[in-house]
Amino acid sequence: MTLRDFVYRPPARPYLPLLYVDDHIVVINKPSGLLSVPGKEKAHLDSAWYRASRVFPSVSVVHRLDMATSGVLVLARNKAAHKHLSYQFANRITHKRYYARLFGEPDADKGIMNIPLIVDYPNRPLQKVDWENGKPSLTCYKVIQPEPFGMLVELHPITGRSHQLRVHMRELGTPILGDRLYSPVESVKAVTRLQLHAQTINFVHPLTGKRISFSAPIPFSQYSPLCLKETYTEAKEMLIQHDIEISDFIE
């Protein structure tokens, strides 16, 4: 299937799976197949933002997940919360953990993908590696366990580029299962959806100033993750070993 052949059919159920709501934030478990925000065409209005706005009229988007990616998505309920959360995402204050099933097995059990990315403009929304003009893009990965057709990996994206995890895993030689943009036909045919899930996000609450975390179970694996603090600390230790400063990736 090509991009031109794409027909948007977002899942009707679950319609809006809420994880948490207060006067400042809304946290949902976005299903695979649902846009984070409306597309340009009228047929692409249905999205996580649109569904949330029907219940919470003032919500706004502070980050996005790819349509095919499932998992934790945070929205702001007022201007102050939007400003506070947007600053956190821009300055790498948020901590995010994803899980993916890969088509194949990486050569190393863990590592860092420090590969700059840029939009492949003639073929957008595809992204590509560009060592001269690409934006710095950093991902820490760790192999968790064997899964059907490949391996389950834990991913900590330090930066948040479009399609970052998908391109980095392809560059590792093990694209994400079910990825219609970056993996071979055999990978796409093996599963019914992209095997990528935003499992946990940690950030500072815009009112209380305290760190909070929200998680959603991995829909394509029985694996039960460790606490985010433990796995994020391990990712940071890998960066230290490679003399990589997170501050260098703040624009």
- With a CB cutoff of 8 Å and minimum separation 6, the contacts of 130 are 116, 117, 118
Among candidate residues 5, 23, 46, 66, the one labeled active-site is 66
In angstroms, rounded to a whole number, what is the distance separating the alpha carbons of residues 164 and 185?
A: 20
Whether 97 and 200 have beta carbons less than 8 Å apart is answered as yes
Could you list the beta-strand ranges (E) of 88-209.
95-103, 110-114, 117-119, 127-129, 138-147, 150-157, 196-204
Coil, helix or strand for 41? coil
| Catalytic-residue membership of 66 | yes
Beta bridge partners of 95: 202
Task: Give, in order, the Cα–Cα distances in Å from 93 to each of 18, 48, 231.
Answer: 23, 23, 16
Return the structure tokens found at 199: 């499992």
DSSP state, residue 87: H
Nearest to 63 by CA among 33, 41, 30: 30
Catalytically active residues are 66
